[in-house]
Structure 1
Amino acid sequence: MLTIGEEVYLRALTGYFIGSELLKGAGRVALVPLNDRICLSIASATAATYWALNGRREKLVSVFEYNPANPRETASRVASWGPDTVMILFGGESRMSDVNRHTVDFLRALSGSGFRGRLVIHVRTWLATNRLQAVLADRELSSYLESLPELRVFTADLAAKKFLFHRVAVRGGQASLETFAQADLTDEHVHLLKNSLPPP
């Protein structure tokens, strides 16, 4: 188990790679975290890195905390901002079953908001939804994801000490990965990842 300080530091390290690698070429980015310390930490690190590496322009990246009581309100705020890319950063201090439910609810709301850009998913969101199978079991959501121009996710190979960055192809209710980049991890980063566990 990690201390909250270690958990936040882990998100600082991971957020750097999201902002520098996973979001490369993503245009105007809306980050959607849960409203807890860990999710907000990784959103902050991601935003700072992406902003710094892309000209430090105004309105390049923004953070929209997810409202689980009203997913449509969150999706409306996000869509009204006009992003090219939306990244779901659900995980952190929430149970995996709750992350799965929030993801399905938010994607339904995002679909209804008219957003048709690039979707990026955090690895814990990916795992909580059983590699999107819980989402793709819904025919309307499966069709929605298949209609988007691009889906991205990152995963970790801790034995190889690497982050892997993927495009996700959705066809016929199934998701498959195509790796487009990778990054080496330090021993410290690997140690933190191995010892950071979501609530049961």
Structure 2
Amino acid sequence: MANFTTLTSRVMPVPVNDIDTDQIIPAQFLKVTDKNGLADALFFNWRYNDDKSPNKDFIINKPESAGCQILLAGDNFGCGSSREHAPWALTAYGFRAVISTSFADIFRNNSLKNGLIPIIVDDATHKMLFELVEEAPRAELTVDLATQTLSYPGGSVNFPIDPFNKTCLLNGVDELGYIMGFENQIAAYESRP
């Protein structure tokens, strides 16, 4: 997993509440055990027409969304089933952070384990960010994990993250990688008489 320190990016807005994991990555794509090809399956039922042609009206298919690494979503993002494929698809596409007022717990935990930062903001900030992106679509936000700050033109807000996940993300390690960082201490303990 790549370490996460700061990220500056334009934002892709999806102002829909209660986006569940089946909308993020439909069930027919859950047969894989790795992330290959999941970028193309992200938001599949919204992204493609019935004939599999791109839905030109869906935001991800618009030229201005190319390269966006921050997703601005409606309330209660990632609800539904516990599929880890949802953050896999988001990161495979290139997203490194998702902003919402709330996240389903399992989705939040799966995201943190896969290098995707779920950023919780209050209702007023959430509304202001949607207005900002509508007025200035090329505006960039900056996520600074060390200071837990989300900066936008004209201001910034702090966001919560637990210390363990913050440490793992800053160092680019998962839970096992974190434990392996104590390999010398573990070996010393195991070699004691």
Give the TM-score normalised by the residue count of structure 2: 0.31
Q: Which has the higher strand share?
A: 1
Give the TM-score normalised by the residue count of structure 1: 0.30
Bigger CA radius of gyration = 2
